[in-house]
Amino acid sequence: MSSIRDRNLQLILEAASEEFAQHGFAAARVDAIATRAGLPRANVFYYFRKKQQLYTAVLDLVMEPLLLASRSLAAEAHPEHALPRYFKAKAEVARQHPHATRVWLKEMLHGGQRLPGERSEALRHSARQNLACLAQWMERGLIARTAPEHLLLFLWSTPLASFRFGEAPGSSAQLKPTRASTQALADLFLRGLRPEAEVAKLIAV
3-state SS, one letter per residue, for 112-154: CCCCCHHHHHHHHHHHHHHHHHHHHHHHCCCCCCCCHHHHHHH
Give CA 45 to chain center in angstroms: 28
Q: Which structural domains are found in the chain, ordered by start?
A: 1-49 (1.10.10.60), 58-204 (1.10.357.10)
Q: What is the pTM of this model?
A: 0.80
d(CA 128, CA 103): 23
Query: pLDDT averaged over consecutive 10-residue blocks of the chain (205 residues)?
Result: 86 97 96 97 95 96 94 94 90 90 91 91 95 95 92 82 49 50 78 65 39
d(CA 198, CA 162): 28
